[in-house]
Amino acid sequence: MNLSGLIDRGRTLTKIGLEARRLGRAATEKEKQRARHALARQFADARGVTMKFGQLLASGEDGEAFQELVTSIEPFPLDAVRPLIEAEIGQPIESVFASFEPRATAASLGQVHRAELLHGGTVAVKVQYPDIAGAVADEMRLLSMLPGVGPVRAWGFDFDGYKTALRENMVRELDYRNEADRQHQFADAVRVDGLIVPKVHMDLTSARVLVQGWEQGVDLDAAAAWDLPTRTETGRILMRTLFKSLFDVGEVHGDPHAGNYAFRQTATGGEVILMDFGCTVPVARSERLALLKMILAVREGGDLNPLDTFAAMGFDADKLVSISGALSTLAHILFTPFEARSKFFVHHWDLKSRFDNLLGDNKWWFRAAGPPSHILLLRGFFGLAQQLDALRAGLDWWAELHAALPSSLIDEARAYQPPPVPDTIAARAEWLALSLQLAENLRVHVTEGEREVVSLSMPGEAVLRLDELIPEDVMAYLRESDEWDVPAILAQVRARGVQPQEVLDFNKGARHYRIWLE
């Protein structure tokens, strides 16, 4: 890319930065939505690293406004990419393909054409955009100059680590031979009934052209209109694919945006077609054993040192010490679906608000403690949750985990002992635990004269959803009261780390309400 091209890319990044800042300053949900769509339009005008980052947002918690990045980018005309295709395959297109559709589907680094092979068979031909490698290199150089700002600086994010992880992933994605190898290995290792991974034609694949079998299907929105049994079976395939690839194989598909999936109905249920293996995430065996052990402990109530276990998962134990008292509760929030004794629906999870309520601004500290590679791993989990929610598929996560994994692996994780954190870190965590005793239970007691009307005992974390537990008419009374400020009470509870304390004690009419942590 020449100097003027580099300047143009710099201008694009600057515009995106300004729109992102406008999004951060938006005060109302309407303003935020307007800012998200403006930011999405800026991403849609770019390719390479810039668009890849936009697609990451499309699979995040604010992804709705960015979904157009998956479907509405304008591809290059065939004449512009034909010379590259022929150079890579070493012969004219007509020598290999009986037909080659000029219309294409565009993505961040390349575009896909449908074609028919001379010897038979329909294929998808993915070809890189001309000069995209130079554009990516220049964009990464621009990104390397960006300083950490906002939460990145304030909470100690490893910004250089994130940039390095992105750079390494982009370099891998620019060589389609790497992608072809990973796609072949994934198809061989992750055997899930109903999962379709297109076969790669290795003899026609090169650094900048990848040829694989064409698999026809519909998008997620269309699949969401299927009957309940088919939607549920589709969700089951998605879930078992993630569990099998993460815990058993240790290689996760890390790019779950809608353009990489297709769905189709069969006589016996549904099938999931998983495409584009440019971004897969290797997970070390020790990290996946620690993660699986934490899930088992949350479900079964086993002994667990959350600080040691999070550290074994790759988190920075030194950073986690200051919030170590909240880690056990946090584990239960993160893995709530595995605690359900029946089918669990994602819209019941309320993960974001519970996470925010527990940690407040310390959520940034927790996120900063995670290694940069986790951002891609989290995309896999976010993607699964969004897909299940769109399908309205309720599943027994615990049963599906056991169905996806060999019992020997589950037994190994149950017996796994995470390495202890260094003594100095453990001592600081113990001191904090003694000085900030956490409450185990939230107690709710309502009496009317001598008669007991309500007596409840719930996990201490339930206090963070106090406004949902108190009857609506009582909440209205408290809001009008000059004596009680429920939001301020919840803020104080978060600040104290859910310690034993009186929360509310008041009379309303003939009834006496007492709520406390013990």
Residue in 346, 197, 327, 341 with CA at minimum distance from that of residue 275: 197
> What pLDDT is recorded for position 483?
77
In a domain, 270, yes or no: no
One domain for residues 22 and 48: yes
Please give the sequence-ordered ranges of beta strands (E in DSSP) within 386-472, or none if there are none: 441-448, 451-459
Residue in the block written with tokens 């694009």:
12
In a domain, 241, yes or no: no
One domain for residues 385 and 425: yes
pTM of the model: 0.74
Contact 139, 12 (CB under 8 A): no
Kindly indicate the confidence band of residue 26, based on its pLDDT and cuts at 50, 70 and 90: low
In a domain, 12, yes or no: yes
Residue in 162, 510, 507, 194 with CA at minimum distance from that of residue 368: 162
One domain for residues 397 and 303: yes
One domain for residues 445 and 427: no
Q: Three-state DSSP class for 26? A: coil
One domain for residues 287 and 328: yes
One domain for residues 193 and 331: no
Note the pLDDT tens digit of each residue in 463-495.
766 766 677 777 777 777 777 777 777 766 665
Range of the domain at 214: 78-223
One domain for residues 390 and 474: no
Residue bearing the bigger pLDDT, 164 or 102: 102
DSSP state string for 157-196: --HHHHHHHHHHHHHHHT-HHHHHHHHHHHHHH---TTEE
One domain for residues 52 and 122: no
Distance of alpha carbon 72 from alpha carbon 366, whole angstroms: 35
> What pLDDT is recorded for position 220?
93
Tokens of 509: 């009419």
Distance of alpha carbon 52 from alpha carbon 47, whole angstroms: 7
One domain for residues 132 and 8: no
Domain boundary among 173, 198, 223: 223
Q: How many domains would you assign to the chain?
A: 4
One domain for residues 431 and 455: no
One domain for residues 212 and 116: yes
One domain for residues 398 and 316: yes
Strands 261-266 and 511-517: unpaired
In a domain, 43, yes or no: yes
- Evaluate if residue 257 carries a pLDDT over 60: yes
For the chain, give the mean pLDDT. Answer: 80
In a domain, 25, yes or no: yes
Domain boundary among 223, 254, 270: 223
Percent above pLDDT 90 for the chain? 40
Q: Which region among 14-18, 98-102, 323-327, 420-424 has the lowest average model confidence (pLDDT)?
A: 14-18
- Evaluate if residue 392 carries a pLDDT over 80: yes
